[in-house]
Structure 1
Amino acid sequence: MRLLKWLLLLGLVLALILMWPRSEIPASFFEPHPVLAVPPERAGELLQVDDFIGRTPRPLDTYSYPIPLGEVGPSTPLFSGPKQYPFYCAWHQMGIEPPLVDNDQGYGVAIYTDDGVLPGYSKDCLHPSRLLWYRLSQDGTVAAYQGGALADDELLLRAELGTIQRYFYLLVMPVRADEFPLRTGQSQWNEKLIYQFHGGVGIGFRQGELRIERLLRNRASQLRQGYAVVSSSANRTSHSYHFLRAEEVARQVKQHFISLYGEPEMTIGIGGSGGGIAQYLLAQNAPGLLDAAIAQYSYPDMLSQVLYALDCDLLHNYYYFTADDKSFWQDWQHRQWIEGLSTVPDQQVRYQREISAIQLLSGIKPTPMDGATQCINAWFGLSSMVHNPHQGRLRPFVSAKLLQSTHWSYWEDLVDIYGRDQHGFAHSLWDNVGVPYGLQALRTGQLSPQQFIELNARIGSWLPQHQMQPERARFLPVWDTPIWLSAFGRHNMAPLKMSEAGIKVAPRYRANRDAVERAYRYGQLFVGELSIPVLDLRHYLDPVLDMHHLQPSFMARERLAKRGNDQWQRIWVSHPDYTPESEAFAAVVAWVRDGEAPAAASDRCFAADGQVIASGDDVWQQDGLCRQTYPVLSNSRQQAGAPSHGLLLQCALMPIEQALARGDFGAVDMTPWLNELDQLFPDGICDYQQPDLAYPLDWRYEED
């Protein structure tokens, strides 16, 4: 009966493919107002960094702040690199009028009047600054305000919206009703400023939007206390992870605010996920921009998570398609040995039916998984979105011609920093040469030597950027629903080849070392250079397979400790039913004001009812109560023997014989498999006792 069900499913999938054998993206998948063409100019300079970006002076900003109402802010980058094109405008997502026309040559998006006249095009998405007014009720309701009396529980908010460096900026100030409609009233300001950062995963090429009413609701408590709030769509990582660009915009947004209202007593950052990353990196790269940070659900940087996140689809391809014993890998516990991330027995794998269908199409009996893992439920598809230059986001926002000629990847977004290869593609910094996947499981006897050999022979790597292809899909008419014919981007993985030892081996990928070194120097990696209070705050989400797992908080701590800066970070973890945000603000304000960490800012963990489970210097030690309550897990690189700080993109290599002699395989005698190991690791195996090969030589400290 079960076999019949799978055969029927296979027949259905084949029928769909035969009925609709087209792979082109239908017109309705294009976002409204697409970018039609790009201009030849790319004004803007890239900061030249020889040492480290945090010690590199920035050029003087000669713009005369404040930005006059009705005019646009500065739009040519001073130090974050040339303007990026294509650049997709987001006025329709903001619900405001179109941007200013800036050319009649067809560059950018077409701008039409209400009666359908085409006066021109906008390549830079510029908007004049204007004031918006809102009333905020005690229950969190936000409504537009046009004058008149306020209810007793209502707070009046003035918001200024415009563009700086082509991105939207927002200044929010609590005011009295008698300060309407003035621009500069600030009687309710407590002289403290919040810089709101936002998360998400983006690859650039878009202006992005600000969700103003959501921001006002999220910051309602602080606004009622008199805080001012600023933000920018450049500081939302669902648009871009280019943190030099994000820094330049943040500097100018803050400078504009100061020119209107004066220097704040302190500036506190807050934001989750990518918004947490932004605070770690901007605190490191731009001293003085922030005075304290509340980094929620954070990673220390984007590259550290990409390193192991891009392993996930390679592992999935092995489990489902190239392993000899596929049934072994459908047990969630077995996968956890390799992946290190959280696993649960009572959840279903995302897209399990689609995966099974593609297995059938490949002539493989479906092997549904028993349980689920974070590696698949949280990271599925990341390889297509950030790594594949021909894929990016599914819904395109440029013309069909530009869709084909632009490289859509995280790497391309930072090409001015990372550089291009000989084929014209941005360097990928992902690297897995020499990585012995599953080494810890081999040492503990969970994997046999044969299983370890097969895993490392077949996991392979991602193809070079110029060899990658778009995801294989067909679109159903009417609904425009994609039917995926490729799983995990497996057609973009290095193919298996027969080695001299008679085993199938897929080659690994080596990143460009100069590009990785530039990532270090330009502050795209968090190296622990930081001297402001950081409260690393998160819910414990490992059991629900959310990508915001706990271990990255301790990655950041280890890096800070290596530089002697770990006194600046505190880690707070709570049950998902409780968010100690108000306590966090109170703690960092006291920390900045008094110049030392108060007792209320100590490491701690919280229960669902808000009670502090434990606090103090030892609660996150191995036997500490917080660590026992909220266990810290691992990732695929740690499971391969890499250091837990994760600051190792390109490992030093050593001969297999040296690894055997040093005991890197533990008590397992791998001598009988020496020939196979040499075929798997022809250039050597990772020596994790050495620092990153691309780590700048002039940065080396004695403790490295």
Structure 2
Amino acid sequence: MTRRLPGTRSRLAALAATVLALAVGVVGSPGPAGAAPGSPDEGSDAGRLAIVSVSNPRPQLVSGGDVLLRVTPPTDVAPADVRVDAGGRNVRPRFVAQPDGSLLGLVTGLPLGSTRVTARLADDPATTASVDVVNHPRTGPVFSGPQQKPFYCQTTAFGLAPAVQPLCSAPTVVTYQYRTTAGQFAPLDDPTSRPDDLATALVDGRRVPYVVRVERGTIDRAVYELAALYDGRDPSPTRPDRSWNERLVYTFGGGCNAGYHQGAYTGGVLDDLFLSQGYAVASSTLNVLDTNCSAVISAEAAMMVKEHVVETYGPVRHTIGWGGSGGAIQQYTIADAYPGILDGIIPGISFPDPVSVIGVVSDCRLLKRYFDAGAGEAGTFTDAQRTAVSGFRSFSSCASWDATFASRATATDSCDPAVPVAARWDPVTNPDGVRCSFLEQLVNQIGRDPRTGFVRSPLDNRGVQYGLTALASGAITPEQFVDLNERVGGLDVAGRPSVARTAADPKALAAVYRDDLVNSASQGLRTTPVIDQRTDLDLLSSGFADIHTTEWSYVMRARLLRANGTAANQVIIETSPDPATAGAAAAYQLDAMDRWLTRLDRPAADRPTLRQVLAAKPADLGDGCYLGPTQRITETLTYPASGRCGALFPVAANPRLAAGGDLTLTALACRRTAFDPRDYPVAFTAEQQQRLRAVFATGVCDGRRPGLGEQPPLRPWLRY
């Protein structure tokens, strides 16, 4: 007989469980005669039976054959009087009563496809709650679409067993590390031992041995890593580790490349900043953009690894994204297109998305090629004039792009060493080989041009007036402007320089906007807490400039403002590259994000509103900059830069902005208007006008209008 328990949990808790159940599509079956569908028995004082997926709030996207579920009985029913079956199989022994009165259980052995998991009351089997769990292979894919082939395995780089492509699976290995009193991580063969130089970690005010469990294995064809403090017991999802603070930091690595290999490193998990406070830390090789330049694949890998973390350690209160450069790209794009995987993000030296950036990167290649040619008026460009044309604080930023990532848009130059030379594309000797362009990672979204065999390209520079702001300011002459635009050229389908300007494929343009590959900031980012870590690398003391220029933080802010009417959920904090200062800033940002999310903690299926996000933001958190490790200025940061922080950390532009582009930089291929010499603050000669009309026969970019093909994204959580 079901035992009715008066007042063991509040009506409010029961109502919250009901709302959560409805949010993920869980509905109770009809109860006793006369009761509304899914309602509790008549005579029950409150609540209703509910079941939800915990390890993945989207139960239709579960992977690996298991899922952590929570069953919440009515408030007056004892947990012992609940029965649970999965596909007709009794799984109730897997469930353990929790302090809040719910039951938490890891259901294993799920077959591929759909399985209905049903909870019912022992003495009232007609009252049920169920959830349909759709299980996918541990090797993927879940929603990213057909996987790349060939796919070269690199499991041995992590000490795992050799693997066979294309799935590249290897058995999981667990090792242990400890933190020494000298501040280093060291191997620990026996995790129960206590070396003399063992440090301690501070978790929720408690000192615990600083011993770390490190797990490595394969998920979604990637190698994943998971690290967390170890309290002497094997981790359990129903009895959380006492050294864990119930929070997860998910790290992402930088770069951008074509893929076709598993990857030899992750975003990194042995990090004292996180582990010393009790965070679990996870990442995978497909969360390194230099291995995989697809936000869709990265989102899938992060979702699957996070699911495994929850099924290993238990429910996560919130997940914080962390990482710079390409790691920042993944955070911004996943937060917008696949909201809920990350609850808050801390992107460093950020960019908004690869597709937006590659246009600027290609511009730099073309400009450097033009300046290096040294013919005609090009030879008269001084260093200051080259910088003015580029928009950067130094033209060396363009040179840096050309020397690093510009080749990633080509078919052969950027293949990872893991891809054998014999397997690589050659137009004559191997026309069916691996094309090492970053666009290859986006084939499931953009499609392939059947005429060329290449992925359709959204790259375009038709109508772009290079050096427009330099001309307007008087930094370059009219003849220099004409000559530059006359001879800058473009890139062909294989990424090689061409005389003609680059023309985007209309289908590619439509796809990158529709699928949010050009980050619209209009979906999940609207309600995601963001602390943008901007280390100022625009002009280093050596005079050399990095590729990670500051304007990109403000490009993202401009998109948030355009899409949502506010960017108040994005905080930008600028620092110098000084390690002590950057370290102090990172510690503060992690603490501030944790406090922000703690005030927002809610069931994973319940997204906060923008008003709730802004209300929860800590009062001490705002835009600003660090003068040193112990001195932070809090003031609104602007573009163009202003205030004390603006004086310390000036913000420049880039070639597209210096060509008159809108700050959002979403117009990959601009809409054009007829060239009119009256629109310029300089006088062109008749001969120069004739040449410009020839260059811009189809018109010049009109920065006031949306780009060709530009449209709102279809919806979040797209599947391919």
> Could you say whether these structures have the same fold, taking a TM-score greater than 0.5 normalized by the shorter chain as the test?
yes
| Shift of residue 187, structure 1, vs aligned partner | 1.1
| Shift of residue 458, structure 1, vs aligned partner | 0.3
Give the AA of the match of 2:569. W
Determine which of 641, 656, 665 is the counterpart of 2:675: 656
**Helix, strand or coil: the match of 2:491?**
coil
| Shift of residue 617, structure 1, vs aligned partner | 2.9
Q: Which residue in the other structure is 1:537 paired with?
A: 533
Does the Cα contact within 8 Å between 1:443 and 1:668 map onto a contact in 2?
A: no
Closer, same or farther: CA 378–140 of 1 in aligned 2, 3 Å: farther
Q: Which residue in the other structure is 2:295 paired with?
A: 243
Give the AA of the match of 2:642. D
Within 5 Å, give how 1:270-281 maps onto structure 2: 270-281=322-333
TM-score, normalised by the number of residues in structure 2: 0.72
CA offsets per residue over residues 478-507 of structure 1, 9 Å max, x none?
xxxxxxxxxxxxxx311xxxxxxxxxxx32
Closer, same or farther: CA 610–201 of 1 in aligned 2, 3 Å: farther
Tell whether 2:371 aligns with 1:319: yes
| Shift of residue 62, structure 1, vs aligned partner | 5.5
Q: Which residue in the other structure is 2:491 paired with?
A: 462
Closer, same or farther: CA 266–406 of 1 in aligned 2, 3 Å: same
Closer, same or farther: CA 394–322 of 1 in aligned 2, 3 Å: farther
**Helix, strand or coil: the match of 2:518?**
coil
Q: Which residue in the other structure is 1:383 paired with?
A: 406
Q: Hey, what's the Cα distance between the residues in 2 that align with 1:272 and 1:223?
A: 19
Q: Hey, what's the Cα distance between the residues in 2 that align with 1:445 and 1:546?
A: 26
Closer, same or farther: CA 694–669 of 1 in aligned 2, 3 Å: same
**Helix, strand or coil: the match of 1:248?**
helix
Tell whether 2:203 aligns with 1:160: no
Q: Hey, what's the Cα distance between the residues in 2 that align with 1:461 and 1:617?
A: 39
Within 5 Å, give how 1:10-25 maps onto structure 2: none
Structure 1 unpaired stretches of 5+: 1-56, 100-120, 344-371, 469-491, 495-505
Q: Please, which moves more after superposition, 559-568 or 372-381? A: 372-381
Within 5 Å, give how 1:43-442 maps onto structure 2: 59-61=60-62, 63-65=64-66, 74-99=138-163, 121-147=164-190, 148-151=193-196, 152-153=198-199, 155-176=210-231, 178-179=232-233, 186-210=241-265, 215-216=269-270, 219-321=271-373, 323-329=375-381, 331-343=382-394, 373-384=396-407, 386-393=408-415, 395=417, 397-398=419-420, 400-402=422-424, 404=430, 405-421=433-449, 422-442=451-471
| Shift of residue 600, structure 1, vs aligned partner | 2.4
**Helix, strand or coil: the match of 2:370?**
helix
Does the Cα contact within 8 Å between 2:641 and 2:650 map onto a contact in 1?
A: no
| Shift of residue 261, structure 1, vs aligned partner | 2.4
| Shift of residue 565, structure 1, vs aligned partner | 4.1
Q: Which residue in the other structure is 2:506 paired with?
A: 513
Q: Which residue in the other structure is 2:480 paired with?
A: 451
Q: Which residue in the other structure is 1:7 paired with?
A: none
Does the Cα contact within 8 Å between 2:530 and 2:570 map onto a contact in 1?
A: yes
* Higher RCO (CA-CA < 8 Å; seq separation 6+): 1
Q: Which residue in the other structure is 2:120 paired with?
A: none
Tell whether 2:697 aligns with 1:682: yes
Q: Hey, what's the Cα distance between the residues in 1 that align with 2:229 and 2:554?
A: 37
Closer, same or farther: CA 396–94 of 1 in aligned 2, 3 Å: closer
Give the AA of the match of 2:158. M
Structure 2 unpaired stretches of 5+: 1-57, 68-105, 110-135, 201-209, 601-615, 716-720
**Helix, strand or coil: the match of 1:379?**
helix
Does the Cα contact within 8 Å between 1:80 and 1:245 map onto a contact in 2?
A: yes
Tell whether 2:658 aligns with 1:639: yes
Does the Cα contact within 8 Å between 2:171 and 2:217 map onto a contact in 1?
A: yes
Give the AA of the match of 1:149. R
Does the Cα contact within 8 Å between 1:620 and 1:626 map onto a contact in 2?
A: no
Q: Please, which moves more after superposition, 579-588 or 259-268? A: 259-268
CA offsets per residue over residues 510-557 of structure 1, 9 Å max, x none?
101221221122222211121111100021111121111111000000
**Helix, strand or coil: the match of 1:125?**
coil
| Shift of residue 395, structure 1, vs aligned partner | 3.6
Percent identical: 29
Q: Hey, what's the Cα distance between the residues in 2 that align with 1:619 and 1:625?
A: 11
Does the Cα contact within 8 Å between 2:575 and 2:625 map onto a contact in 1?
A: yes
Give the AA of the match of 1:640. A
Q: Hey, what's the Cα distance between the residues in 1 that align with 2:160 and 2:418?
A: 22
| Shift of residue 302, structure 1, vs aligned partner | 1.1
Does the Cα contact within 8 Å between 2:212 and 2:230 map onto a contact in 1?
A: yes
TM-score, normalised by the number of residues in structure 1: 0.73
CA offsets per residue over residues 299-350 of structure 1, 9 Å max, x none?
0111222111111121122112153144422x3211011101122xxxxxxx
Q: Hey, what's the Cα distance between the residues in 2 that align with 1:406 and 1:58?
A: 35
Give the AA of the match of 1:374. S
**Helix, strand or coil: the match of 2:704?**
coil
RMSD: 2.6
| Shift of residue 180, structure 1, vs aligned partner | 6.2
Give the AA of the match of 2:161. E
Give the AA of the match of 2:654. N
Q: Which residue in the other structure is 2:618 paired with?
A: 598
More strand by share: 2
